[in-house]
With several copies, the nearest count.
Chain A
Amino acid sequence: MINPGLSVNLGGIELASPLLAASGPFGYGHEYLERIDCSALGGIIVKGISLKPWPGNPPPRLAETASGLLNAIGLQNPGLDHFVKEDLPLLARAEPRLIVNIVGCDIDEYAAVAAGLSGLEGIDGLEVNISCPNLKAGGIAFGTDPAETYKVVGAVRRQTNLPLLVKLSPNVTDITIIARAAEAAGADGLSLINTLSGMLIDIETRKPLLGNIFGGLSGPAVLPVALKMVWQAAEAVKIPLLGMGGITTAEDALQFIMAGARAVAVGTGFFYEPEVISQVKEGLENYLVKHEIKALGKLEGAARKGGIINGAC
């Protein structure tokens, strides 16, 4: 049983628990669902889906860093048709809400994937990953430019009535500009952050460690950066936020909630501790009980509103 005080509404998606599996580390869900207790999970965001299958990057794709993980999977995925036929039926039976992360090389691909997923049984929302390189605009990521962000989110919005989250890239000068563009284009919520761009070098071969040279940094190392961007986005937009980046404990999750997130997602944390979600849930419940707070929602943005709130209120 999840404490009813933990339920939240994330841009139209009713979640029994504010804890989600972030897109990517959790794959298409069934591997973890078979092995761990997922009863504390409010929702699963599956790995990014494109129209046609994407092959992904050459190995090695992973490297451990100080309190972090560098990955360059390259958005490998089996494509829309395969997902709908093979993965979705397995997932639709699962307890947690299902959100599908979508990717594309251009705006048409994003729109086509969104259209293909709309109206299907078992899908509760979409998350648009705008960190993909925009091949028609010289390879710069959609999510680093407000105009491109507005265009791609708008195109997806026109294809679907599903609740729409937009997943922001942290590799930008000012996250609030991108956040506002996504909101203006019709997003129902924002997810942040995606990975920070980084790399490592093998000093023996004197080559980059990852097959793709660059990768994305995640895990506890990035938590302070993620938290600040959630704080800033919370000041910039009215739609709810899904916070993520380095969460492995209830204390981490609470920091995101207090910075302004409605719910939080865990990615790399599953590698560190597969039972992470049950542990975080327990910690959240204990915190609410200890401070006599009836609903987690009371804490949303608490740190931006001047600190300690009265538990009873």
Chain B
Amino acid sequence: MVTEKQAIAPGYCRLSFKAPHIAGTAYPGQFVMVYMNSGYRHLLPRPFSIFTRNRDKEEVSLLFAVKGQGTELMASAEVGSLWKISGPLGSGFPALPEGSLLVAGGIGLAPLAFLAASIEKPRTLIYGARTASQLICPPGVLDLPNLEVIEVTEDGTRGERGTAADLLLGLLPGPPALFACGPGPMLRAVKTLCLHSGTPAWFSVEEKMACGIGACLGCAVQTPKGYSRVCREGPVFSAEEVFNND
């Protein structure tokens, strides 16, 4: 059931769901499948990273961009309406060492916000987007103890000016580990910097999904060991595993 809805900025939305099992067992980097309430109009459920989790209220929330018909439908969900969601799915991030760097590009913030909230050790989040209006984190979510947040926009309309990768240049090497999620080009640039600086890194990646549980082999990504399933071995992969041949 949808318990809360936050229309954040045009084209972005946050939905909270009552989901005791998911809220109770999920760890950062895992995702859920949201089933569309539309008959055959959308045969496939849509995957979304868990953005926040509240064990007491047995709730999880998702932060999403309206991309096509499915997310449009979700953005028009009413509080109290019943939506089927299944999860938690996939393999999340490994444990976060003190001093880690988290790098989020745009809507890629979702899994990293959950990761950031999972410990209280000092850690830094670089949160980048093209322009200020795409930095859409709802107020309060990133007000976490010992978390330093550095905002960066390509056009300089908020925070530093430049890309997340530009910023990283000045911060690497150093941090014991890096965790990132965002658009492909950003992750490719981050990967190059991490390999150069010898920083261990993990990325949350996306691929089209059908079953979400590892059965259909639909969500394959190429890794050095052959195809891996984003929904089962992933969505979190080490930097070495992904973005090798393109």
Contact = CB atoms under 8 A, between A and B. Distances in A.
Nearest to A76: B217
B8 interface: no
Contacts of A248: 40
A261 B215 CA distance: 26
A63 B210 CA distance: 9
B210 to A, nearest CB: 4
A209 to B, nearest CB: 9
A216 to B, nearest CB: 12
B36 to A, nearest CB: 9
A67 B43 contact: yes
A35 B43 contact: no
Interface in B114-145: none
B215 A274 contact: no
A272 B217 contact: no
Interface stretch (B59-67, B95-103, B164-172, B220-228): B220-228
Q: What secondary structure prevails in chain B residues at the interface with A? A: loop
A73 B216 contact: yes
B217 A220 contact: no
A25 B219 CA distance: 12
A59 B43 contact: no
B44 A64 contact: yes
B218 interface: yes
B238 interface: no
Contact of B217 (A47, A60, A64): A47
Q: Which of A25, A26, A248 has the most CB of B within 10 A?
A: A25
A67 B43 CA distance: 6
B44 A274 contact: no
Nearest to B84: A273
B235 interface: no
A248 B43 CA distance: 10
A64 B218 contact: no
A236 interface: no
Nearest to A26: B215
Contacts of B218: 61-62, 71, 73
A86 interface: no
Interface in A57-111: 58-64, 66-69, 71, 73, 76
Interface in A13-27: 24-27
A27 B227 contact: no
Interface string B189-210: 0000000000000000001111
B211 A59 contact: no
Given A47-B217, A58-B222, A268 B43 contact: yes
A59 B42 contact: no
Contacts of A25: 210-211, 215-216
Interface in B147-161: none
A287 interface: no
Nearest to B89: A35
Interface in B51-103: 86
B210 A69 contact: yes
Contacts of A31: 211, 213-215, 232
B45 A27 contact: no
Nearest to B226: A55
A248 B213 CA distance: 19
B174 to A, nearest CB: 34
B70 to A, nearest CB: 9
A27 B214 contact: yes
Q: Can you list the 4 inter-chain pairs with the closest CB atoms, starting with the nearest?
A: A27-B215, A67-B40, A31-B215, A62-B218
